[in-house]
Amino acid sequence: MFPLARALSAQMWAALGGDPARLGRLRLQGEGALPGAFAVSDFAAAAVACAALAADELHGLAPGTRAGDAAAVRVDRRLAALWFAESLRPQGWQAPPARDTLTGDYPCADGWIRLHCNAPHHRAAACRVLGLQARADSVAAAPAVAAWKGVELEQAVVEQGGCAAQMRDAATWSAHVQGAAVRAQPLVLRAEFPAAVAAWSPAAGRPLRGLRVLDMTRVLAGPVSTRMLAGLGATVLRIDPPSWEEPGVVPDVTRGKRCARLDLKTPQGREAFEQLLGGADVFVHGLRPGALDALGLDAATRQGLRPGLVDVCLDAYGWSGPWATRRGFDSLVQMSCGIAEAGMRHAGASRPVPLPVQALDHATGYLIAAAVLRALSQRVQRGVGTHARLSLARSGALLLDAPPPEPREAHAASGEADLEPAIEHTPWGPARRIRAPWSIDGVDTRWELPAAELGSSPARWP
């Protein structure tokens, strides 16, 4: 049943180096599908399944556990699709807008372009290029954008430190030097090396109990990955720079974490970070390639500070090619690689049509979690450290290459029956969580901490 979801699960699991026989422990359910040109529900279920399979594998290494029945891991396609949109339902309040008023798709002289201006410095970069006032909105920006050719505006914004993406079709992206570089990479770039291993082992019931995860990621893939690790019992400490804010997603993605702020460009911040890294088992980061190297914190230095560290990172546009250091987000990658253009053609629309959810972010997030969990299994069994790298663009290539979605009715809208009964107390108000899309026999996946406010915790391990 659900052959496309199973096929995608097998591809992802193989990229993670997983034993194909373990796929027999997976059971899929959940009728319906998200609408559109791509098999997003199956893609979502497959990514969630790989993370759950990896958790099941690690849990099986805990002392006192034994193999259960063949259906140990269960994933609901519908709930996975819902979680790719949101997992938290506010009770009597609304989250702040996730997008800046300048963020959006604009017609340009030869097609379409997307500006991503949610961060203040990205907004400022777009305004400089377009000659706009600091408080400009999309109405003011439209005439200025229309005067530019897409590729020229894209490059100008990027050179100013901003974020933009011209809409390309899949064939154009495949022929593009960066598109070719992305396709030449595996879905998960993995490297193993002998390492002195910290004395940690998985625990029965809560496999990641006692594990320390240092999280230096931003919206949205990285925080999704570490949210799952927190749900499996890990102590997750998220580090943000002093000025960073992402209020639209804080309650959703900080569940179970502690959050602190550090400025790594100061001697005090650098010293504190090195102490944190020296006490970590896992480091998940989403800074652009080369950013940590420029601070003297390259991969070899990180391993020196914490031998056996599981080091997993992500970027937007892949790890080779001229765009390897380019800033990017899910919606920009969809414009670049042909997803938004294919959605427009499929819908017969006159403007870009993105995926119904931010599937590249969420799927990559679950693959990151799976990479961490598989690396921990290998460290426990074989005494090796692991460095793994993933990218939104490479996840997008997998979705682009997947067969078209099987004909299905649309997923039923979420309702009362989909919500957990317990009230969560977030920094902004009470909320209820949508039921998790995965379950693993014998594993407790409840978060032990409420949603955290950014910067609310001290920058030290508890």
In the block, which residue shows the tokens 């798709």?
A: 105
Candidate from 59-68, 369-378, 419-428 with smallest mean pLDDT: 59-68
391-405 mean pLDDT: 97
Asked whether the beta carbons of 279 and 461 are under 8 A apart, the reply is yes
Contacts of 199 (CB under 8 A, 6+ apart): none
DSSP-assigned states of every residue in 81-99 = HHHTT-SEEESS--PPPSS
Query: Could you give the CA distance from residue 273 to residue 264 in angstroms, rounded to a whole number?
Result: 7
What pLDDT, on the 0 to 100 scale, is given for residue 3?
Answer: 96
Position 198 scores a pLDDT of 64
| Predicted pLDDT of residue 116 | 97
What confidence score (pLDDT) does residue 434 get?
96
d(CA 363, CA 383): 28
User: How many residues make up the chain in this entry?
Assistant: 462
Report the pLDDT averaged over residues 259-263.
96
What's the whole-number average pLDDT of the chain? 95
Bridge-partner residues for 261, per DSSP? 240
Closest CA to 165 of 359, 363, 316, 362: 316
pLDDT cut 90: percent of the chain above it: 87
CA distance 53 to 67: 13
Structure confidence at residue 111 (pLDDT): 98
Q: Which of 325, 390, 293 is nearest to 161 (CA)?
A: 325
Which of 437-461 are b and which e, b meaning 16 or more Cβ less than 10 Å from the residue's Cβ?
bbebeebebebeeebbebbebebee
Question: Residue 35: pLDDT band by 50, 70, 90 thresholds?
Answer: very high
Confidence band for 125, pLDDT divided at 50, 70 and 90:
very high
Give the model's confidence band at 243: pLDDT under 50 very low, under 70 low, under 90 confident, else very high. Answer: confident
- Mean pLDDT throughout 110-130? 97
Q: Pick the closest to residue 195 from 379, 458, 48 (CA basis).
A: 379
Band of the pLDDT at 30, cuts 50, 70, 90?
A: very high
More confident residue, 320 or 69: 320
Percent of the chain with pLDDT over 70: 98
pLDDT in the model for residue 428: 87
Element (H, E) at 214: strand 212-216
Collapsing DSSP states into helix, strand and coil, what is residue 162?
A: coil
Residue 263 has pLDDT above 90, yes or no: yes
Q: Are 76 and 437 in contact (CB under 8 A)?
A: yes
Q: List, for residues 67-102, the tens digit of each pLDDT value.
A: 666 679 999 999 999 999 999 999 999 888 888 999
SS percent in the chain: helix, strand, coil, step 5: 40, 15, 45
pLDDT attached to residue 70: 65
pTM for the model stands at 0.97
302 has pLDDT over 90: yes
Alpha-carbon gap, residue 172 to 234, rounded angstroms: 43
Residue 5 has pLDDT above 90, yes or no: yes
Reading across the β-sheet that carries 111-115, which strands appear in turn? 104-108, 111-115, 164-166
Beta bridge partners of residue 430, listed in sequence order: 425
Strand partners, 236: 213, 257
Contact 390/15 with Cβ under 8 angstroms?
A: no
Identify the sign of the CA torsion 226, 232, 237, 242.
positive
Amino acid sitting at position 326: R
Query: Looking at residue 69, what is its pLDDT?
Result: 61
Longest dimension (CA), the chain: 67
Taking the C-alpha atoms of residue 196 and residue 308, their distance in angstroms, rounded to an integer, is 6
Give the tokens for residue 103.
């963020």
List the structure tokens of 319: 């790890």
